[in-house]
Chain A
Amino acid sequence: EVQLVESGGGLVQPGGSLRLSCVASGFTFNSDWMSWVRQAPGKRLEWVANIKPDGRETAYLDSVRGRFTISRDNAKKSLYLQMNSLRVEDTAVYYCASIGVDYGDYFDNWGQGVLVTVSS
């Protein structure tokens, strides 16, 4: 059974930092592209970042580029999101997701999500 378990969320002040983690099991983690997707309260889903299986290629939503960094440790079957210079508008539930095996960036497995609240 595929499992993705996120951790690291919480309350942080504007301008602060947080690091999210996601531990994977039940699939070949080092073969899959991985993503972070977020959902602000009552809003639609929003893709945040992708990372290639070997970690050498990444992509970001424009509004987080330069502030967020996606990374992975395949030996630990773990995905990370380092979030710096956080803004109130970054408040959301953040999901770790694997990208589907067919062509294209759709998401076939999701974690349960972790809440990040940016507020003073």
Chain B
Amino acid sequence: DIQMTQSPSTLSASVGDRVTITCRASQSISSWLAWYQQKPGKAPKLLIYKASNLESGAPSRFSGSGSGTEFTLTISSLQPDDFATFYCQQYNSHPNTFGQGTKLEI
């Protein structure tokens, strides 16, 4: 199985900050990567698919980049509603697998 590793595991930031979360795959996954946001006790919400495509309805301050084995999720200007845990997911090969999560804290 492809292993997905996110860094950092926890990130402290303030409203208005620009933040970047990194996701690394144990082998190349081309651009088959998605990003999700999850708040406590809630279901994940899709933000980005195919590494850089913004899901309909997701705020434009979220952007994704990368290909191969290294990917980033960037939030251009943090808003109060953005504090949550973020997960990457590869869907290049079966079984699709998720990173361990990055908790974004105030």
Interface residues of A (CB under 8 A from B): 44-47, 59, 61-62, 95, 100, 102-113
Interface residues of B in 38-85 (CB under 8 A from A): 42-46, 49-50, 53, 55
By secondary structure, the A interface counts as loop
Q: Give the dominant DSSP class at B's interface.
A: loop
Inter-chain contact B45/A110, CB cutoff 8 Å = yes
| Count of CB-CB pairs between chains A and B under 8 Å | 56
A102–B49 contact, CB under 8 A? yes
Which residue numbers of B lie inside 8 Å of A, CB to CB? 32, 34, 36, 42-46, 49-50, 53, 55, 87, 89, 91-92, 94-101
In-complex Cβ contact of A106 among B45, B49, B97, B100 (8 A): B49
Contact indicator A112/B97 (Cβ below 8 Å): no
Kindly provide the distance from the CB of A107 to the nearest chain B CB, expressed in whole angstroms. 6
Q: Nearest-CB distance from B2 to chain A (Å)?
A: 12
Query: Once the chains bind, are B98 and A46 in contact (CB under 8 Å)?
Result: yes
Contact of A47 among B45, B46, B97, B101 (CB under 8 A): B97
Known: A47-B95, A47-B96, A110-B44. 10 other contacts (CB 8 A): A44-B87, A45-B87, A45-B89, A47-B97, A100-B49, A102-B53, A104-B32, A104-B49, A104-B50, A105-B91
